[in-house]
């Protein structure tokens, strides 16, 4: 059992490290995500007149819409890049469980999203002049991004085999991640306003993540194989 887990861990890490190295070399996805987030935050900052009494209501929506749509950019390339190079076939030829391919891709996508958010949050706090506890925001952002990345990885794999994959991914994904967006926005509102319970939203996100991790891990084999 331990040997199997060790083997699975090594293969998963090989997948993640490969994706990170490929992205480090090309900077194709990361730079697009960061640029998108920066543009969205700047535009919203000029478009709305944020006051002390409205910032707690409006700013969380701005942050999470930037996070979600930047995440879509990244997730869209997760399998599309493999498909375009033909390396998806080579991955599927490897003697590894499809669940491990899912976990590897999920972790790589999650890392990209969290890296982008490490840049986004300080810019957001500065531009919108919000006061919130950054350590308290971390679990909210991590759990929210995980839920988004779990479903996003599944639908990115499904969309890979279709012609209109760029259109299909948001159509499939966005309706299902509504609970993540709501919990993220409401949790951030709690952090900015200091009113209400953050635990409720963290629990909702954790429950969502656990359920969909199990479901997607079990389904992934059927999604990937032709």
Partner 1 sequence: MTSTWAVEAANLGRAFDEAWAIRDLDLRIPAGQRVLLLGPNGSGKTTLLRLLATLLRPTSGSLRLCGFDPLRQGNEVRGRIGLMAHRPLLYESLTAEENLGFYSRMYEVPSPQARSTALLRLVGLEDRAHLRVRALSRGQQQRLALARALLHDPPLLLLDEPDTGLDEEGLAVLGRVLSEEGRTVVMATHQAERGLAWADRVLVLRGGRLSEDRLLRPESAMSRSGAVASEATP
Q: Which residues bind partner 1 (CB under 8 A)?
A: 7, 10-11, 14-15, 18, 21-22, 25-26, 85-87, 89-97, 225-226
Name the minimum Å distance from CB 5 to partner 1. Answer: 14
18-24 long-range contacts (CB < 8 A, ≥24 apart) are 19/104, 19/105, 19/108, 20/108, 20/111, 22/81, 23/108, 23/112
Phi-psi region of 194 (alpha: psi -120 to 50; beta: other; left: phi over 0): left
Name the minimum Å distance from CB 118 to partner 1. Answer: 24
Q: Which is nearer to partner 1, 7 or 131 (CB)?
A: 7
Q: Which is nearer to partner 1, 83 or 193 (CB)?
A: 83
Name the minimum Å distance from CB 31 to partner 1. Answer: 14
Q: Which is nearer to partner 1, 23 or 209 (CB)?
A: 23
Q: How far apart are the first and last CA of the chain?
A: 30
Q: Which is nearer to partner 1, 10 or 131 (CB)?
A: 10
Q: Which is nearer to partner 1, 32 or 125 (CB)?
A: 32
Name the minimum Å distance from CB 74 to partner 1. Answer: 17
DSSP, collapsed to helix, strand or coil, labels residue 70 as helix
Buried b / exposed e over 18-31, threshold 16 CB at 10 Å, is ebbebbeeeeebbe
Name the minimum Å distance from CB 19 to partner 1. Answer: 10
């Amino acid at each position: 059992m331990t040997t199997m887990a060790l083997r699975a861990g090594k293969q998963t890490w090989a997948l993640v490290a490969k994706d990170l190295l490929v992205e480090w070399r090309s900077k194709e996805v990361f730079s697009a995500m960061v640029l998108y987030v920066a543009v969205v935050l700047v535009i919203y900052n000029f478009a709305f007149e944020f006051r002390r009494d409205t910032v707690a209501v409006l700013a969380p929506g701005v942050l999470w819409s930037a996070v979600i749509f930047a995440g879509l950019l990244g997730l869209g390339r997760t399998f599309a890049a493999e498909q375009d190079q033909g390396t998806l076939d080579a991955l599927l030829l490897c003697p590894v469980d499809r669940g491990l391919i899912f976990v590897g891709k999920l972790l790589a996508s999650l890392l990209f999203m969290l890296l982008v958010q490490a840049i986004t949050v300080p810019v957001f706090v500065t531009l919108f002049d919000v006061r919130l506890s950054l350590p308290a925001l971390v679990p909210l952002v991590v759990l929210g991004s995980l839920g988004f990345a779990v479903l996003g990885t599944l639908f990115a794999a499904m969309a890979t085999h279709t012609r209109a994959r760029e259109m299909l991914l948001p159509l499939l994904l966005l309706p299902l991640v509504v609970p993540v967006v709501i919990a993220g926005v409401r949790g951030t509102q709690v952090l900015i306003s200091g009113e209400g319970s953050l635990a409720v939203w963290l629990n909702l996100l954790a429950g969502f993540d656990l359920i969909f991790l199990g479901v997607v891990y079990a389904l992934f084999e059927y999604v990937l194989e032709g």
